[in-house]
Structure 1
């Protein structure tokens, strides 16, 4: 593993600069280099980003900062990061949002799993920043998976065991992505813009024979949005995030497109994805404050999700 060169790629969009500085500080000493894509934050914000990076990394930031003059979507930005990493000779990229925060030994622990066969993506626990570590949102681990030498690794920092398991999917934030696997699988689907881009990439990786590994007890800390409401169904707690109608539209559209794209390929569980979609639609129609705008966004998302071409 000595020849593995790892970069961190961060997608920027109107970032909170206090939070962005924490993101950079949490990861800069763990990787060989950083690559940023500003996804159309606007001229004033872009100037602040350039000033911040110039102050930290020197006058020439051409190799580490890619500027899009409009928001081209998360999938385009991630592909730009991976392309630049490949060009610069990196073997793997830790992908982060501009408000992510990494545990101190995150990269070291994830990197230790690169020896596992066909490792396309390695993910940690994902933790809602406002909650305690006891409220970790785990990756969707496939407990019935076989063919993996599952073991417990130990952190030299805290002597904590890290259980390694096969996962069905994970979020991109905090995940270590193989540049070779990204290239062979065709990369992130740029039709999707935002939402379910990471789930789609995971399914595509597995369809190309790669595996996704989840490592417990090491985390990336995220902010998933403002929680506007919470409610319980059959004893299980659900959260409603304060997303605008445009975000709801993309989520519904992309979920339908995602199901249609991967059906019959044995990389996703269609029944569980449909249940998730129906639940997503239902909770927004029932609990959303602006139900009329929400319903309009859902209908538009359903229509376009059915019409989107799934071929490449």
Structure 2
């Protein structure tokens, strides 16, 4: 049951989604929010889901087809503008492959109210998430220059350096204060940059560890040197490397996070290159990503003509 003084709009970014997964997500969230806005980044050359696919949900669904991949940040901003015009009090960001647990939104709202009443300056809060491939649960994340600490215990909200966007609940007034998503990043680090921006303005991000949301990360997980390593596509690898370079050089992240990325980036590039079926192609792509990050070739960058 949604609180009477709240208007919650879920913003879901789609890209070549599996229809069955979309219905699974919608069935899990439709009764927890006032409206679901689907922003479809699928390009014209691929199967576009018709509006008729969502008729059974009535007026609770809005479906926007962009007919081109404009990036996660742009798609989220379109959803934010819709929610702003609709006088929403909160936005719940979701990915197409997420499943929301029963009562998640209500629990997030209760925890948000308790944090605010205790004097905490809340930017955003969300659940811990469990990766479908590895079964690993990730809660609060704290970045130091040399390692990343992950905490996921207790029932009270834990402060975290950042949240992934899927499952995150944010007040509209906070978005209006901090600003919307950085479209220059296109896809990777969009959520991290926003949380870091909020932190610089004195607001904090929180994980509610007793809520766990299923999430699908990357294409596959490989066991490398005893660790599960998420293997994304070449497309994603380009943006991860380029945006890392850009954010470090532009001082858009905390000192700890910049040092952490600076140290980890060579390892990231080496592991992804060595595990690539076309190593020369991967080297050229990631070299371009580094160059584009240095010269501020942002947005869709290398893939602008695709």
**One fold, TM greater than 0.5?**
yes
1:290 is the counterpart of 2:278: yes
Cα drift, residue 292 of structure 1? 1.2
**1:167 aligned residue:** 160
1:54 is the counterpart of 2:55: yes
Cα drift, residue 268 of structure 1? 5.1
**2:172 aligned residue:** 179
**1:125 aligned residue:** 128
In 1, distance between residues paired with 2:32 and 2:256?
33
Q: Which runs of 5+ in 2 are unaligned?
A: 145-152, 299-306
**CA-to-aligned-CA distance 1:27-46 (integer Å, 9 cap, x gap):** 11111211111113437733
**CA-to-aligned-CA distance 1:46-79 (integer Å, 9 cap, x gap):** 3x34111223225x96xx2222121100000011
SS at match of 1:238: strand
Cα drift, residue 273 of structure 1? 2.1
- The answer (yes or no) to whether the contact 2:134–2:228 under 8 Å persists in 1 is no
**CA-to-aligned-CA distance 1:237-264 (integer Å, 9 cap, x gap):** 13141x332221111001111222335x
**1:106 aligned residue:** 104
Q: Give TM-score scaled by structure 2 length.
A: 0.84
Aligned with 1:87 (options 85, 109, 112): 85
Aligned with 2:70 (options 69, 72, 75): 72
Cα drift, residue 182 of structure 1? 1.5
**2:26 aligned residue:** 24
Closer, same or farther: CA 228–136 of 1 in aligned 2, 3 Å: closer
- The answer (yes or no) to whether the contact 2:143–2:260 under 8 Å persists in 1 is no
**1:146 aligned residue:** none
In 1, distance between residues paired with 2:102 and 2:121?
26
In 2, distance between residues paired with 1:221 and 1:290?
32
Q: How many residue pairs are counted as aligned between the two chains?
A: 283
Cα drift, residue 279 of structure 1? 2.4
In 1, distance between residues paired with 2:194 and 2:31?
28
**2:237 aligned residue:** 248
Q: Give TM-score scaled by structure 1 length.
A: 0.83
**CA-to-aligned-CA distance 1:262-287 (integer Å, 9 cap, x gap):** 35x74753211222322211211222
Supply the RMSD in Å over aligned alpha carbons: 2.4
1:230 is the counterpart of 2:219: no
In 2, distance between residues paired with 1:267 and 1:185?
20
- The answer (yes or no) to whether the contact 2:134–2:221 under 8 Å persists in 1 is no
Cα drift, residue 142 of structure 1? 7.2
**2:249 aligned residue:** 260
- The answer (yes or no) to whether the contact 2:140–2:159 under 8 Å persists in 1 is no
Closer, same or farther: CA 69–219 of 1 in aligned 2, 3 Å: same
Cα drift, residue 141 of structure 1? 4.1
Cα drift, residue 220 of structure 1? 1.9
- The answer (yes or no) to whether the contact 1:92–1:177 under 8 Å persists in 2 is yes
Cα drift, residue 87 of structure 1? 0.8
